[in-house]
Structure 1
Amino acid sequence: MSQALDLTLTDDPHQQNDVFTDAFNSGEGAVFDQLYRSDAISNLTGRTLTGPERTRAITEFLATKPKLTATVRRTYRTGDTMLLIVDFSVEAVGADGSPEKLDGRCTDVLVRDENGRWIMAIDRPVMHTPNT
């Protein structure tokens, strides 16, 4: 990666979305993982994971260089907790090597940590059912 990403999450949910998208599209699992609490829950890879297993699965997935676009649809905030509803699209390579596009809606829960920094606690993307 030629330049370091600014991973600072502000109170602006659109800025938060931009940071997550940039980190995801970097393809660097270690970079993306910095946006999560160590005990965060994610089903980004299709299984609900936490801790080192979540980190490992996300790192392996991002190594395939998928590309994410995302749009914030709604936000709700109370104190140090924020819920974001995000529509997303991921362009990836399928298991057979063919291009694959995954569209869906994500419910993300961010919390402020003890240093006042926003960080992901729950990442729950849900894929839309493909039209047949």
Structure 2
Amino acid sequence: MTAQIDLRNLDLTDDPETQNEVFLAAFNSGKGAIFDSLYRDDSISNLSGKPLTGEARTRAITELLATGPQLKSTVRAYYATADTSLIIVNYDLVITLEDGRRQRILGKCTDVLVRGEDGKWVMAVDRPVADEVQDL
């Protein structure tokens, strides 16, 4: 399945596969502001390796995406109520370290999304956990 994704108007739909595609498109765009727009202001993200929220989260996301990482993920499980959802994915992330070396990080990510008053889903918790790190 391939959704048409407009990076200027991202929409995390009720469909977990489409949510995953939107998330990937935003992340792989390399633009921190685009990716960060998927989060609530008070969302917590562990992308940096520690839980961050607010400006610290935004800064960490922007700095990471500026290095051009490439992310792939597949949906493992999805659970939803009327206004809260849990999506679990396996991920494959390739990053470039400060010294220029590249690494592949394989792991699982647990995301909690909430539906806002406008009916749109936004990220409340983003918790990737690495299972394996490989030098490339």
Shorter-normalised TM range:
over 0.9
1:130 is displaced (CA, Å) by: 4.4
Runs of 4+ in 1 over 2 A off after TM superposition: none
Query: Could you tell me which of 13, 16, 23 is aligned with 1:13?
Result: 16
**C-alpha distance in 2 between matches for 1:9 and 1:94:** 30
CA distance in 1, matches of 2:16, 2:62: 24
Paired residue secondary structure (1:128): strand
Aligned-pair Cα RMSD in Å = 1.5
**Match among 122, 125, 128 for residue 125 of structure 1:** 128
Pairwise CA distance, 1:64: 0.2
Identity %: 57
Residue-pair matches, total? 129
Q: Indicate yes or no: 2:103 matched with 1:97.
A: no
Contact 2:104 2:133 in 1 (8 A): no
Q: TM-score, normalised by structure 1?
A: 0.93
Query: Which residue of the partner structure matches residue 62 of structure 2?
Result: 59
After TM superposition, give the deviation of residue 78 of structure 1 in Å. Answer: 1.4
How far off its partner does 1:96 sit?
Answer: 2.0
Q: Deviations over 1:34-56 (max 9, x none)?
A: 10000000010111100011001
1:16-49 Cα deviation digits (max 9, x unpaired): 0000000000000000011000000001011110
Letter matched to residue 97 of structure 1: G
Q: What's the CA shift for 1:4?
A: 4.8
* Unaligned segments of structure 1, at least 5 residues: none
Relative to the length of structure 2, the TM-score reads 0.90
* 1:44 corresponds to 2:64: no
